Structure 1
Amino acid sequence: MKNMTGLLLTLTFGTLLLTGCVNEEPPYKKTGSGTSATGTTGYLNGEVGLRVIADSQTDMQPDDTEDETQNPPAEASATTRATVATDDYRVRIVRADGTDTPFEGSYAELKASLEATPMELPTGSYNLVVCSHREEEIPAVEWESPVYGTTYPFTITKGSTTTINEIVCTLQNIKVTLLCSADLADQLTAETKATISLGAASMEFGKERWDGRQAAFFLPADGENNLDFLLTGSFTDGGEVKFSKTITGVKAGQWRKIELVIVYADQGEIKFDISVDNFVLDNTVTINGTDGLWEEILEEGGGEEGEAPTIVMQGWDIAQPYVLETVDPVRVDIAAPNGGIRSLLVRIESGPLQEILVSVSEALTGEFDLCEIQPGTPEGDLLSTGVGFQIGDEVKGQQSTYFEINSEILTALKSLGDPGEKHYFHLRVIDNAGGETSATLTLVRPTDE
């Protein structure tokens, strides 16, 4: 059965390929002379609203003393909407392969240009890169200097208009604050300081900055970074103070709230440590109409209660159409940390693939569950061998798996239908705790072949 299914797949694709080569262009795509239109451009349009998830909250963890210098004033606990001027934000439109930059200027200039007329661009994949600062203006570390930005992928298809209505910028550097109780600070001399470093960039936190309010912002060097903490100085009653520790796994967009604590004090010996809380700005939480609230990240152990499944395409934003400029396999990583996968449901909208699926089993024509499809069945052999999907126990109960479309299928899809034709793969994952996440992978035949 497995060999027969593979043969059926090959023959079906062969027939479709031949059909596509004979007449790829339907009559309504012809010009008046009966020849195909030769344009290889499309258009970018839209209001392109720019929203910034800004650090509008001073959320300080109070210490265990009544010292007013260590506690925030009452008004600091109230969160207000940050007003962020965005007209001078730097914007670049760059081809995804980096070969061309059709636009570079301010957000105000881009907005004015698109309001006047849609921007004509060659077909293909692009990134719209936004940053609150020019690259040369971003320091490796500085006090109170958040940098906001984003990279927004989009696709231009032949003769079509791509609309961008809103882009959301988030924190691009790392916020670090230091807190120390007044009781502990009083045992250390005024010259005692904490030095926090990321690579070659370092910032000294003198005792006047140990209130948890004054933030240093570090430019990340990699996807994950290390912060090195070094405490040096002396006790007020004599004796050297020296303590160091490394904080690992630090990423852009995080706020690392460091607190200096005493592990124990015995017979005049004091042992220090630091506790580190990790927060990110959450653009989905709204309290009293305010965006930009810091949400704590819980890092220990497995999935936390309520943690939803995730669907992430490797190297691309799955929410954006992906133009098949290569036939490298397309892979989507799926995770269900809260109890594992109960169902991975797939629905395919693609004329060529649907013809193959129908020829094998009616069960594959609508939404089907990869968890319930087993090897050795016609459906299982087609999906696992012919298309390359994970099925059965490779998916069910797993905390992570992947959904991949192999090079052979992508080669066929690039050769079928009209330039710019789209193929949709609707994915829905449900975990054993009842959490659910959906996403649609959209593959687009190139228009500039």
Structure 2
Amino acid sequence: MNIRHNIRLAAVLAATVLAAGCGKDKMEFEPVPVPTDEKGFLVLAGMNVGITTEVETLENGDLAAQAATRAATEADGAYLVQINSTTATQEVAWSGSYADIKAMTEPLSLAPGRYTIAAQSPEEIPDAAWETPRYAGSTECSIIKKQTTTVNDLTCRLSNIKTTVELSADLKDLFLNDGIDDLQVAVALGDTRMVFGRDETRAAYFRAPQASNQMTVTLTGRYNVKGEGETPVYQPVTMTQQIGNVRAGQWRKINISIQHADQGNVKFIVTVQTWVYDSPLVVDVMSKDYAVYEEEIPDVDDEVTMPGSPVLLLDCTDHRITDPFRITAASFDFDYTPVRSNHPLKIIGTPQDGTTIADAHCVFGSDNPDFLAALESAGYAGGVVQLLPANDAGGRLVVNIDALQRLSVKFTDEGMYELYGFAGRHTAKFVVTDSQNRRSYTTLTIDVIRSASTDGPQIVGLDGFDLTTRHTITVASTPKVALHITSATGITAFKVYILGGEVLPDNELKGLDLAPEMDLIHPESEAMENRLRELGFLPKDGGSIEGATDMTFDITEFIPAMCVLPGKGHCYLRLEVTDASGTKEASLMFNVAQ
């Protein structure tokens, strides 16, 4: 820290002690640049990029009980690897080959945040070609400043559609084989078509133009309509069959055989096995007898996130999208009309591999029937809200695609407050499809807590401090900010979030050895712990708050620092205190005036 910064920090800390004598003279300090190069480190030299191999194990018994195993072989050094930030600027942090990764001798230095590490085959995916599998995969990691993160494994899975056709021996025997109008099966996906001859054993690989596709299978040839021992008479036959829900990452094994019915007619038996190379590995088998020209094969819409599909995250540093998002009274500022949300929900969807977002919708569920009824009455049948084309859902959402091609879905203050009106657990399943028709499914759980339950620690203001009021502070007038916190079972977690705005920006907090998010039970550094004790966030006698059943939280000495710094306006401190019975939140609201 340079001398100028030390002088400024000393002045801020002195103000916390001498606040009563400051009068109306405002202390001004020249802005000091703060270093922004505190990075974390990512070690990739030991990372193995593997490819799932096509190893099958067919169990005896019912077809539905068939299973598959998978193994992984190491990818070629030419595989492309790219590291993208999934927070902040969403920029490409690094790109190169798998061979470059293996040759690394030093860790990568990256800004703190979440990152996606993606690998893919070096060749492009053809519309359709023989024996051209392409593979892709990704994994995520978090980079924490001054800490080292290691990524060991990344598995690539099939990213186009593998298709094989097998014709039974008895079927081939009944079709003419003169090299002119011979038996063949054409498989088409849209306008792309591959033709399998009677003895074709190669696999065709199709690019998936949509997230869910329809495959057309057409058998043609000349079939012998005469019985055994009679002079053959060959009649042209065409059978067309549709297979739905065909997706990237699948192996569609089409088997066609023939069966004589009791009346002497024939039936073609079409069996389609769908092997999905994903985790977990899924096998679904559809089998049915079809007479010539009968055309229907059922399929199941499995909601499996496809490799390389868009990645969804919450646009905040203190909450993962896989954890329940809690909405309570502390989530709002009731001093404003209409009510404002202190931390509105914002979801960011990032496309991978240079693609764009093509479609997005959200499906809401809830254990509160009133919430579902409200969605229905608003015109959202089945709880489905279409997000693209951009839809504001009656002013409840702001949806757009930014310059980096990311999907942004933000709940407005009105939308957050309307959610708060329905207590219970809600789910929001985001279904996002990219321009290569790869689809991801991401479910966010939202817990709305409105009850006056005594579960969790109790937080009350001391000496007249009101938790429901925004307190105006100036150099000449700073309130006492003290809380009494009790727990029947003992505190197990205590976090403080400083939403400082222009009053307490991140760089100023850093200069005070503080941070926007702080764990009071496990401070991130000794310097932070010392500062927390000095300012009253932690007991000054050196005691621990873990397990405490009765404690005072008095940060009165911290408040004058807001007046010394140049920024003015609103700021918040959000407290989350947890014990064995639950979590309670409290918001300390301030307005720093001139």
TM-score bin, normalised by smaller chain:
0.5 to 0.7
Question: Which residue number corresponds to residue 222 of structure 1?
Answer: 210
User: Per-residue deviation at 1:129?
Assistant: 2.1
Whether contact under 8 Å (2:259, 2:267) holds in the other structure is: yes
Residue 51 (1) aligns with residue 66 (2): no
User: Aligned pair 1:324/2:316, yes or no?
Assistant: yes
Structure 1 residues 325-351: Cα deviation after superposition (integer angstroms, max 9, x where no partner): 8x9x9976xxxxxxxxxxxx9698xxx
- 2:84 matched to 1:88? no
Task: Give the equivalent residue in structure 1 for 2:126.
Answer: 139
User: Counterpart of 1:246?
Assistant: 242
Q: Relative to structure 1, is the Cα distance of residues 405 and 108 closer, same or farther in structure 2, using a 3 angstrom cutoff?
A: farther
2:196 is equivalent to residue 197 of structure 1: no
Shift of the 37–52 alpha-carbon distance from structure 1 to 2, 3 Å rule, reads same
Q: Give the TM-score, by structure 2 length.
A: 0.42
Q: Which residue of 2 aligns with 1:259?
A: 255
Please state whether the residue corresponding to 1:110 is helix, strand or coil: helix
Report the CA distance shift for 1:54/1:302 in structure 2 as closer, same or farther (over 3 A): closer
Q: 1:404 aligns with which of 446, 449, 458?
A: 446
Q: Distance in 1 between matches of 2:69 and 2:137?
A: 24
Pick closer, same or farther for the CA change 1:200–1:59 going to 2, 3 Å.
farther
Tell me how far apart the structure 2 counterparts of residues 412 and 189 of structure 1 sit (CA, whole Å).
80
Cα distance in 1 for residues equivalent to 2:447 and 2:500: 13
Secondary structure of the residue aligned to 1:252 is coil
CA 1:39–1:224: 2 relative to 1, 3 Å: same
Classify the secondary structure of the residue corresponding to 1:55: strand
Letter in 2 for 1:93: I
1:118 pairs, out of 90, 93, 107, with: 107
Q: Give the Å deviation of 1:38.
A: 2.7
Taking a change above 3 Å as real, the CA distance of residues 230 and 421 of structure 1, as seen in their structure-2 partners, is farther
State how far apart, in whole Å, the 2-side matches of 1:405 and 1:40 are.
Answer: 35
Q: Is the 8 A contact 1:371 1:391 kept in 2?
A: no
Residue in 2 aligned with 1:335? Answer: none
| Contact kept? 2:50, 2:75, Cα under 8 Å | no
CA separation of 1:403 and 1:85: change in aligned 2, threshold 3 A: closer
Q: Do the aligned partners of 1:93 and 1:102 also contact (CA within 8 Å) in 2?
A: yes
Residue 125 of structure 1 contacts residue 153 of structure 1 at CA under 8 Å; is this kept in 2? yes
Are residues 157 and 301 of structure 1, via their aligned partners in 2, closer, same or farther at CA, if it must alter by over 3 Å?
A: same
C-alpha distance 61-175 of structure 1, shift in aligned 2 (>3 A): farther
**Structure 2 counterpart of 1:337:** none
Q: Supply the RMSD in Å over aligned alpha carbons.
A: 5.1
Give yes or no for contact 1:54–1:84 (8 Å, CA) kept in 2.
no
Secondary structure of the corresponding residue to residue 53 of structure 1 = strand
- Unaligned ranges ≥5, structure 2: 1-11, 14-30, 62-67, 225-232, 287-297, 332-365, 372-415, 428-441, 449-496, 507-513, 520-594
1:20-31 correspondence to structure 2 within 5 Å:
none
CA contact (8 A) 1:141 1:202 kept: yes
Amino acid at match of 1:258: I
Q: Is the 8 A contact 1:56 1:82 kept in 2?
A: no
Separation in structure 2 between the aligned mates of residue 139 and residue 316 of structure 1, nearest angstrom: 24
Aligned to 2:118: 129
SS of match in other structure, 1:86: coil
**More helix, by proportion:** 1
User: AA paired with 2:76?
Assistant: T
Change in 2 beyond 3 A, CA 1:204/1:59: farther
Structure 2 counterpart of 1:339: none
Matched letter for residue 251 of structure 2:
W
Stretch moving more, 219-228 or 83-92: 83-92
Alpha carbons of 1:278 and 1:49: their partners in 2 closer, same or farther (altered >3 Å)?
A: same
TM-score by length of 1: 0.53
**Which amino acid counterpart does residue 47 of structure 2 have in structure 1?**
V
Cα deviations by residue, 1:160-214 (Å, 9 ceiling, x for unpaired):
44432211111112121222221112111231100001123221111002xxx53
Q: Name the counterpart of 1:108.
A: 99
Kindly indicate whether structure 1 or structure 2 has the higher relative contact order, using CA contacts under 8 Å at least 6 residues apart. 1
Contact 1:53 1:283 in 2 (8 A): no
Change (3 A) 1:167 1:330: closer
Tell me: CA distance 1:58–1:422, structure 2 relative to 1, closer, same or farther (3 Å).
farther
Conserved? CA contact 2:52–2:71, under 8 Å: no
The 3 A distance-change label for structure 1 pair 246 and 413 is farther
Identity in percent:
28
Hey, what's the Cα distance between the residues in 2 that align with 1:298 and 1:81? 21
Tell me, in whole angstroms, the C-alpha distance in 1 between the residues paired with 2:183 and 2:277: 32
Structure with more of its chain in strand, by fraction: 2
Deviation sequence 1:270-298 (CA, Å, 0-9, x none): 343522121223556xxxxxxxxx64136
Change (3 A) 1:193 1:391: farther
CA apart distance, 1:354: 10
Q: Contact 1:235 / 1:241 at 8 angstroms: preserved in 2?
A: yes
2:71 & 2:264 partners in 1: Cα distance? Answer: 48
- Structure 1 segments unaligned to the other structure (5+ residues): 1-21, 24-32, 63-77, 285-293, 333-344, 358-369, 376-383, 424-449
* Deviation at residue 225 of structure 1 after TM alignment: 1.5
* Residue matched to 1:281: 277
- SS, match of residue 311 in structure 2: coil
Give the Cα separation in 2 of the matches to 1:80 and 1:403.
Answer: 32
* Equivalent residue letter for 1:91: V
**Distance in 2, Cα, partners of 1:55 & 1:390:** 48
**CA deviation digits over 1:319-378, x for unaligned, max 9?**
xxx5528x9x9976xxxxxxxxxxxx9698xxxx99959xxxxxxxxxxxx979x99xxx
The answer to which of 147-156 and 260-269 deviates more is: 260-269
- What SS does the corresponding residue of 1:183 show, helix, strand or coil? helix
Check conservation: 1:389, 1:403, Cα contact below 8 A: no
| Equivalent residues in 2 for 1:238-387, closer than 5 Å | 238-262=234-258, 265=261, 269-281=265-277, 283=279, 295-297=282-284, 316=311, 324=316, 356=330
Q: Secondary structure at the match of 2:101?
A: helix
Q: Which one of the candidate residues 152, 166, 171 is aligned to 1:165?
A: 152
Q: Distance in 2 between matches of 1:420 and 1:148?
A: 40
Residues 197 and 422 of structure 1: CA distance in aligned 2, closer, same or farther (over 3 Å):
farther
Higher gyration radius (CA): 2
Structure 1 match to 2:197: 206
